[in-house]
Amino acid sequence: MNEFEVKGRKVLHEMKPYSPGKPIWEVQQELGIEKVVKLASNENPFGASPKAVEAIAAFLPEIHRYPDAGAKLLNQVIAERLDLQPEQLIVTNGGDELITLVSETFLEAGDEIVVPSPTFSEYEFGATLMGAKTVSVPLNEDFSYNVDALLAEVTGQTKIVYLCSPNNPTGTYIGRDELQRVLDALPKRVLVLFDAAYKHYASAEDYSDGLEFVRAGYPIIVLQTFSKIYGLAGIRVGFGAASVELTNSIYKVKEPFNVNALAQTAAAAAVNDDEHVCKSQQLNAEGREQLYKGFKELGLSYTESMTNFILVELGPDAKSIYDRLMAEGIIVRYGGGWGLPGHVRVTVGTDEENELFLTKLKGIMAEG
Ligand SMILES: *Cc1c(COP(=O)(O)O)cnc(C)c1O
């Protein structure tokens, strides 16, 4: 007996698989080489917050206990840091889980979400899962936000408008005034999910991480993650900040023990590890300049970035250059999946990693 008629939901046919950056060990195994550099997933190349690592080690003897279902201690630490009430926070198994939870909480089949394009793929994933439709609004040619075009796509069906700022994969952001304009123009029944995963890297004067609008009572949820600057991608923790009314709704669909105890402990220590954050910000800013300079020398155009990655245009040979970089042990992200077949996205690495990447890139381009 191996015939059965169990069918998955119809939406499964429409789910597009996420394409993660290849793990280092896999490339090592495939190529049989030791030296592999991963610049594909926007991780912190300088490692995790040392305070978080210490906290995890100290907590290990307690892991036979269930985690705190409400992540209360972590909520308190974050709330204090961000000048919010703990009830305005919801901690999740990575920022990705927040996107799924928000989709499950607010989207009915037939609803629409409005997203910039290109952007992070998880917004569409959550919508498709719920049978909702994703309406993509192209960014301007220089990848800046086109607020008028975005607002023009808002219809009676629109439930959520996603703003990723700084935006993955472009590194561009929406200025405070423009954000205010979007929020004031939207009907009050439309929720804004403001994804601030890269907020610590955004140094522009007019950047807003969205929290001021949470405090002011707008229908906005701000997403943050511990996977990027805090260096905790492997342990999966992020959070949302919003009005108590919104978080209460999301809590209804959350599984009780969604965030493991080590992740809660690590995140609580990382939040106040200013030394690690400042060092990472500074080294990242230097690494960005290093890569800009290298790209200029190679005659490549790139998008100025407010993040820890850079979108660079390699032209018609981009896919083949990407493949050849991979063959030499340098993992970057190919732009094809974002409709950018001539681009790759490169995470800013350590000084040594950036140099190695530029050297290999130069060699490959010289071969033609
Ligand atoms: C990395 C990232 C997230 C969250 O990632 P998690 O590892 O799930 O916390 C959310 N949004 C964007 C745009 C990201 O790049």
Residues 246 and 287 in one domain: no
Residues 248 and 302 in one domain: no
For 24-80, the pLDDT digits (tens) are 988 888 888 888 999 999 999 999 999 999 999 999 999 999 999 999 999 999 999
Q: Is 164 in the pocket of ligand 1 (CB under 6 A)?
A: yes
CA of 224 to the centre of ligand 1 (A): 8
Q: Is 238 in the pocket of ligand 1 (CB under 6 A)?
A: yes
The answer to whether residue 159 is domain-embedded is: yes
Residues 88 and 234 in one domain: yes
**Which structural domain, as residue segments, surrounds residue 166?**
50-272
What lies within 8 Å, CB to CB, of 194 at 6+ separation is 163, 165, 179, 210, 213, 220, 221, 222, 223
Residue 4 has a pLDDT of: 83
Residue 17 has a pLDDT of: 84
Residue 1 has a pLDDT of: 63
- Specify the ligand 1 atom closest to the Cα of 119: 13
CA of 297 to the centre of ligand 1 (A): 31
CA of 174 to the centre of ligand 1 (A): 18
The last residue of a domain, from among 209, 244, 272: 272
Residues 29 and 100 in one domain: no
The answer to whether residue 4 is domain-embedded is: no
Distance CA 197, CA 277 (A): 14
The answer to whether residue 3 is domain-embedded is: no
Residues 92 and 131 in one domain: yes
For 83-141, the pLDDT digits (tens) are 999 999 999 999 999 999 999 999 999 999 999 999 999 999 999 999 999 999 999 99
Mean pLDDT over 184-204 rounds to 97
Residues 199 and 264 in one domain: yes
Mean pLDDT over 256-283 rounds to 98
Q: Is 116 in the pocket of ligand 1 (CB under 6 A)?
A: no
90 close to 239: Cβ distance less than 8 angstroms? yes
